[in-house]
Chain A
Amino acid sequence: QSALTQPASVSGSPGQSITISCTGTSSDIGGYNYVSWYQQHPGKAPKLMIFDVSARPSGVSNRFSGSKSGITASLTISGLQAEDEADYYCCSYTTSDTYVFGIGTKVTVL
């Protein structure tokens, strides 16, 4: 199972919106609505930000939103803030009853 494809880096100015893409195959993203997104600050454990493509766990800002079309999922961060600077990983359930993560995207707030 190959890692999902994400851009290595995305940047934006405070207040702007950015979108991170995550591309897989019909065996993972394209086969299920089970895409999740994680935020990881340096030296910290990952934090769940989005699950089931577009649902937000309690306590996660509504500035974070998710979507999916075919084999590509996306995470959008609106009203970009300094604390959003972190690494972001997508993750999908697969037809093998396993999970696969994306390669990760570094978000920089300019």
Chain B
Amino acid sequence: EVQLVESGGGLVQPGGSLRLSCAASGFTLSTYWMTWVRQAPGKGLEWVANIKQDGSEKYYVGSVKGRFTISRDNAKNSLYLQMNSLRAEDTALYYCTRASAAVAGDYWGQGALVSVSS
């Protein structure tokens, strides 16, 4: 059974940093693109970033470029999102998803909540 479990969320002040992790199981992580998608409270879904199987290609939504970094450790079956210079508008539930053949997410975790507030 495919499982994705996010961790690392919490409350952080504007300008601060946070690192999200996603533990993957039930499939071979090294054979899939992986993605982060976020959802602000009461709002819709927003694609944030994705990373190729070997980490050689990474893409970001414009609003996080230069501030967020997606990475992975296939040996540890883990996906990460390093978030720096956080802003109030980054407050959201962050989902880790397994991407598949031009599909943003065929399996989703339950999400990690990030709150940016002073």
Chain A residues packing against B (C-beta within 8 Å): 1, 3, 32, 34, 36, 38, 40, 45-48, 51-52, 57, 89, 91, 93, 96-104
Contact = CB atoms under 8 A, between A and B. Distances in A.
Interface residues of B, number: 25
Interface centre among B57, B104, B109 (most CB of A within 10 A): B104
Q: Which are the 7 A-B pairs with shortest beta-carbon distances?
A: A34-B102, A99-B47, A104-B44, A45-B108, A101-B45, A99-B104, A51-B103
25 contacts: A1-B61, A3-B44, A36-B103, A38-B45, A38-B105, A45-B95, A45-B111, A46-B95, A46-B105, A46-B108, A48-B107, A51-B101, A89-B45, A96-B59, A97-B59, A98-B50, A98-B60, A99-B47, A100-B47, A101-B45, A101-B46, A101-B47, A101-B104, A102-B44, A104-B45
B66 interface: no
Interface centre among A47, A101, A104 (most CB of B within 10 A): A101
Interface in B49-80: 50, 57, 59-62
B106 interface: yes
Nearest to B103: A51
Contacts of A99: 35, 47, 50, 104
Given A1-B62, A48-B106, A57-B106, 6 more contacts: A46-B45, A51-B103, A98-B59, A99-B47, A99-B104, A101-B45
Interface of B: 35, 37, 44-47, 50, 57, 59-62, 95, 100-111
Nearest to B109: A45
Nearest to B102: A34
B95 to A, nearest CB: 6
A34 B33 CA distance: 15
A43 to B, nearest CB: 10
Contacts of A46: 37, 45, 95, 105, 108
Nearest to A4: B44
Contact of B110 (A45, A47, A57, A100): A45
A1 B104 CA distance: 16
A36 B109 CA distance: 18
